[in-house]
Structure 1
Amino acid sequence: MMDSVVDLASRVMTEADLPPPDTKRWVMRRKAEVVAGVRCGLISLEEACRRYTLSVEEFLSWQRLIDSHGVRGLRATRLQDYRQGEKVTLAE
């Protein structure tokens, strides 16, 4: 793993910018830091999921919310608002 990489905001991002592995409370900023870390190659998706006990689906949902609604889309109180617009299909 690289010691530092340049993130999308053109600033150097290091492991110190990532949330601690024992994070229990996932606020918008921490979720966004993990997504940015994976996107810029600081940490792999697999390592992020292992380190933070996330499912791939959970991580990908954070990434989709950022892409669709910006970092504010990660607010737990807003998830229901954003999901109301999504079509849900159940497998038979």
Structure 2
Amino acid sequence: MFIRKEPGPRVVTLPNGDQMTRADLPPPGTTRWVARRKEAVVRGVQSGLIDREEALERYDLSDEEFEGWERAMVSHGTNGLKTTLLQKYRQS
């Protein structure tokens, strides 16, 4: 049996105590972004599970788009990533 070695850690522990693996990340080439998938990518990058550059390339994201997700997570949590509630959570 051959196990492919991925760069970086296999498992990381998030601040809330949950563990996250690469299997918890959305599949490469994802085009339909719901809040849960956005959160997984942002948490994966923040915890060191995946590099920022690798995430941008893997999911074909722009730097600005990813920064927007990070800002929304910091300001409003997962609810800030929901596009249907955009005005409610992102108003000053």
TM-score bracket for this pair, using the shorter chain length: 0.7 to 0.9
- Matched residue pairs, number? 85
Q: CA deviation at 1:10?
A: 1.2
Residue 19 of structure 2 corresponds to 12
Q: Which residue of 2 aligns with 1:78?
A: 85
**Who is 1:89 aligned against?**
none
Shift of 1:79: 2.5
More displaced, 36-45 or 73-82?
A: 73-82
Please tell me whether residue 52 in structure 1 is matched to residue 59 in structure 2: yes
* Whole-angstrom distance in 2 between the partners of 1:81 and 1:12: 31
One-letter identity of the residue aligned with 2:61: L
Q: TM-score, normalised by structure 1?
A: 0.84
Q: Provide the residue aligned with 1:31 in structure 2.
A: 38
Gaps of 5+ in 2: 1-7
Q: Deviations 1:33-91 (Å, cap 9, x if unpaired)?
A: 00000000000111100000001111110010011111001011222444553xxxxxx
CA–CA separation in structure 1 for the residues paired with 2:59 and 2:26: 9
> How far apart, CA to CA, are the structure 2 residues paired with 1:55 and 1:9?
28
SS at match of 1:5: strand
Report SS of the residue matched to 1:68: helix
Partners in 2 of 1:72 and 1:61 — Cα distance?
A: 13
Q: Distance in 2 between matches of 1:73 and 1:22?
A: 23
Q: Over the residues paired in the alignment, what is the CA RMSD in angstroms?
A: 1.3
1:40 aligns with 2:47: yes
